[in-house]
Structure 1
Amino acid sequence: MSKSNTPRDADDSSKPATVPPRETDHQRQFKQTLLVPFWNRTERRPRALWRILSAFVLIAIGSQVLPSVLFGSIDLPPSVLGITQNAFTLIIVFLVVVVWARYVDHRHPTEYGLEIGPEWIRDAGIGVIIAFIAWGLALAVHLSTGWAHISAVLSPGIAENALPFSLALIAFVGQFLLVGIWEELLFRGLVLKNAAEGFHSRWLSERGAVLAGLVASSLLFGVVHVDQATSLPALGFWALMGVVLGSTYIITDSLALPIGLHFATNLAFNNVYGLSNVRPETAEIAATLLRPEFTGPTRFVDASGLVNVGIVILIAVLSIGYVTVQRGSIRLRVSPVYSIDFESK
């Protein structure tokens, strides 16, 4: 006896398919309007403000919060603690910059000014020479006017666990080299370049955008150093230093000269000529080759006094002169025009 065919359930395909409602043009336009302050459709990346702020937040967490947790309870000599913290910060900045370059900025990391070669190393070395000569002149002015006298030579400092002078000086050389690299990579490479692109894409000409980026990065540089500024003029001194370092960046499109100037300025100012000894909170703490005592008017001998302001201007003149001789002309070499060819590189 054969089985009769039982009726099968109706095929699901015969049922009308559930089609999600299509996004209307009005809804699409509304969504795009909401994203305008945050997303650049043409460049296919976040706008400059958010690229800069988000990188800063990550670096601040990585360089300020984590070291306090890792090294806060360890009793180290100031010079050793400084090089340890700044080595950690450099690693954080480098990792953030590499990730940012690839996935947010859409550019190669070398485009921040790190195309290292013989010319790059030479420019960095010239920056070191310029800074040491200039800050040596600052000390000479103080001594010749009677505003300071040398009270000690090869001074290791008076910290409870201070290292011998030679070891402390080596540690400070390492610390300030690290500081010069990570601060220039952050403030000039990432911030200035992105700020210039942001200003150009919305309001300004190419030249105006680069100059606006220079001002913005210099002000941010000053604000970040507010803990080292004892007054508004002192804060202006840091911003002026940011302008000088940023100017050498935009006329070379390289971090070599800024890094050399930054590193040597910190080392010469603090640990070679002892110019920071004028501050009560730092007097006789750091190891220094020459330890002057200052007796002149504060408006001249202070860390942000008129003598040091003049030296910063001299550093700018010498640096611009070097670039003019080396490259034949002075022009803005950092371009605010963003290229979206990173994927094809």
Structure 2
Amino acid sequence: MIDASVAYATPAGAPRWKRWLLFSPLARIVIFTALFIAFSFLTGGLMHALGWGGKQSPDLEHALVQFLMRAMPALLAYLLLVKLVERRKIDELAPRRLLPEGAKGALAGLLLFSAVVGMLYLLGSYHITGNNPDAKWLPALLMVGLGAGIGEEILCRGALFRIVEEGLGTWVALIVSALFFGAAHIANPGATLWSSAAIAIEAGLLFGMLYHVTRSLALCIGLHAAWNFAQGTIYGIPVSGLKADGWLVSTRSGPDWLSGGVFGAEASVIALGLCSLCTLALLAVALRRGSIVPCRPWQRLRQRFGAVELLEASPGSSPPRATL
């Protein structure tokens, strides 16, 4: 049977070669990756041809180029995958859901990171030393806020988590997408194995479960963008090792496991603990609903391809229902 908790199921009448080379989870991930790389080169080439984003370009122009480079390749690749390969409505990123659900996610991200800062303050680790009303908030919003939120959530949750879940189940999808998300930050300034592990657990698992429970990329994007914006622009804390220009000028003291060190509060056990509690709450919702997709790869393969062989062997029989 079709699992109602996933977005896509292989068409029942699809020929065998299409099931392997076009509709299978691995094939769709490969197709998305190829499209993403192609659009990345095209976007970069277009920016270069227009002369945008050079070393002497204004901050806002540089931020706009970074926004386009981070968001557009993933968005275009995802739209083409959904429309041309999966041929379905893009409910998880539907225009009618973008504003209301993005706003809810942004509010949740602001409150969650504020709770992290509040805990660090109460523990004597976070200190406000001044304010900076001239902080460049718009470039930060475009780059580390919306750019990172849109690009990384489409890549890690819309494509990787969703498609792996359809093929191998929720638990495997959580692990794979979280590990990928943590590894993607290993090259950031000040990154360590600990910081990447912390991001994988606190953010990779949280965003994965948030998408699983809500089936909304807008919520994930809003939370991700607001977390980054609050961290850097509001509270003046480095965002994944990137220097912050915040309205509040701040310092952090204490051991790195508490303050997060030069990488930022994402590497703090406070962020790890609070985000893990949110992840467990979402997991409880999923378990209560019974929406966890089980990992049954061999059964899915038999359903996917065995059904076609059975149909071909019995031309008079009724077509099987589409399965994953």
What percent identity do the matched residue pairs reach?
21
Q: 1:157-306 residue pairs with structure 2 within 5 A?
A: 165=135, 168-175=136-143, 176-199=145-168, 209-228=169-188, 230-240=191-201, 241-276=203-238, 282=243, 286-302=244-260, 303=264, 304-306=267-269
Task: Tell me how far apart the structure 1 counterparts of residues 17 and 173 of structure 2 sit (CA, whole Å).
Answer: 18
Q: Secondary structure of 1:225's match? A: coil
Counting only pairs closer than 5 Å after superposition, residues 304-323 of structure 1 correspond to structure 2 as 304-316=267-279
SS at match of 2:94: coil
Pick from 22, 25, 45: which aligns with 2:22?
45
Give the Å deviation of 1:155. 5.6
Structure 1 match to 2:32: 55
Shift of 1:277: 7.5
- CA drift at 1:172: 2.0
**Structure 2 residue matching 1:287: 3-state secondary structure:** coil
Contact 2:53 2:65 in 1 (8 A): no
Following superposition, the deviation at residue 249 of structure 1 comes to 0.5
Asked if the contact 1:251–1:331 (Cα under 8 Å) also holds between the matched residues in 2, the reply is no
Tell me the distance in 2 between the aligned counterparts of 1:40 and 1:218. Answer: 31
SS at 1:220 equivalent? helix
Distance in 1 separating the partners of 2:59 and 2:290: 42
1:141 aligned to 119, 138, 145, which one? 119
Looking at structure 1, the residues matched to 61 and 193 of structure 2 have their Cα atoms a distance apart, in angstroms, of 31
Query: Structure 1: 5+ residue runs without aligned partners?
Result: 1-38, 157-164, 200-208, 340-345
In structure 2, C-alpha distance between the alignment counterparts of 1:319 and 1:307, rounded to whole Å? 19
Aligned to 1:101, the other structure's residue is in SS state helix
CA contact (8 A) 1:320 1:330 kept: no
Aligned with 2:132: secondary structure?
strand
Write the distance in 1 (CA, Å) between the matches of 2:22 and 2:251.
53
Aligned equivalents of 1:193, 1:335: Cα separation in 2: 13
Relative to the length of structure 1, the TM-score reads: 0.67
- 1:332 partnered with 2:291: yes
Q: Distance in 1 between matches of 2:60 and 2:87?
A: 36
Q: CA deviation at 1:188?
A: 0.9
Note the C-alpha offset of 1:97.
Answer: 1.7
Q: For 1:153 and 1:263, locate their aligned partners in 2 and report how far apart those are by CA, in whole Å.
A: 22
Show the 5 A alignment for 1:13-162: 41-42=18-19, 45=22, 47-63=24-40, 66-67=43-44, 70=48, 71=52, 73-78=54-59, 80-104=61-85, 106-108=86-88, 110-111=90-91, 113-117=92-96, 121-154=99-132, 156=134
- Describe the superposition over 1:246-279 as per-residue Cα deviations: whole angstroms up to 9, x where unpaired: 1010111121321121111111111111232895
Shift of residue 81 of structure 1? Answer: 1.9
* Paired AA for residue 300 in structure 1: L
Shift of residue 108, structure 1, vs aligned partner: 2.2
* One-letter amino acid of the counterpart of residue 231, structure 1: T
**CA 1:78–1:224 in structure 2 vs 1: closer, same or farther (change >3 Å)?**
farther
Q: Is the 8 A contact 2:75 2:151 kept in 1?
A: yes
What corresponds to 2:10 in structure 1?
none
* Alignment TM-score, normalising by the size of structure 2: 0.71
The alpha-carbon deviation at position 288 of structure 1 amounts to 0.7
Distance (whole Å) between structure 2 residues aligned to residue 83 and residue 332 of structure 1: 39
Larger deviation, residues 53-62 vs 291-300: 53-62
Q: Deviations over 1:292-334 (max 9, x none)?
A: 111211110013021221232244367679xx6xx9x644388
Query: What secondary structure is seen at the aligned counterpart in 1 of 2:93?
Result: coil
Does the 8 Å contact 1:67/1:88 carry over to 2?
yes
Residue type at the aligned position of 2:195? A
The root-mean-square deviation of aligned C-alpha atoms, in Å, is: 3.5
Secondary structure in structure 1 of the residue aligned to 2:214: coil
| Count of matched residue pairs | 273
